[in-house]
């Protein structure tokens, strides 16, 4: 029986610090995406309000 390395085990963090290191970048990317989405929605609403107010 040949035993190779179990590289799949490296995918599962064993400590809280390893978990933080693994999820830091995806969490940062999600935060940026949510912030940009909120800003875009704000500008769409403001553009719509300004258009309605000045169109009348």
Given a cut of 90, whether residue 44 has pLDDT beyond it is: yes
Question: Is residue 7 situated within a structural domain?
Answer: no
Domain that holds residue 38: 13-55
Number of domains in the chain: 1
pLDDT recorded at residue 51:
95
| DSSP sequence for 14-47 | -SHHHHHHHHHHHHHHHHHHHHHHHHHHHHHHHH
Question: Is residue 41 situated within a structural domain?
Answer: yes
Question: Is residue 8 situated within a structural domain?
Answer: no
Q: How far is it, in rounded angstroms, from Cα 39 to Cα 54?
A: 22
Model pLDDT for residues 5-36, shown as the tens digit of each residue: 667 766 888 899 999 999 999 999 999 999 99
pLDDT recorded at residue 55:
85
pLDDT recorded at residue 3:
65
């Amino acid at each position: 029986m040949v035993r190779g390395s179990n590289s799949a085990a490296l995918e599962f963090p064993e400590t809280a610090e390893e978990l933080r290191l693994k999820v830091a970048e995806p969490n940062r990317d999600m935060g940026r995406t949510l912030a940009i989405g909120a800003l875009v929605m704000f500008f769409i609403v403001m553009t719509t309000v300004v258009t309605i107010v000045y169109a009348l």
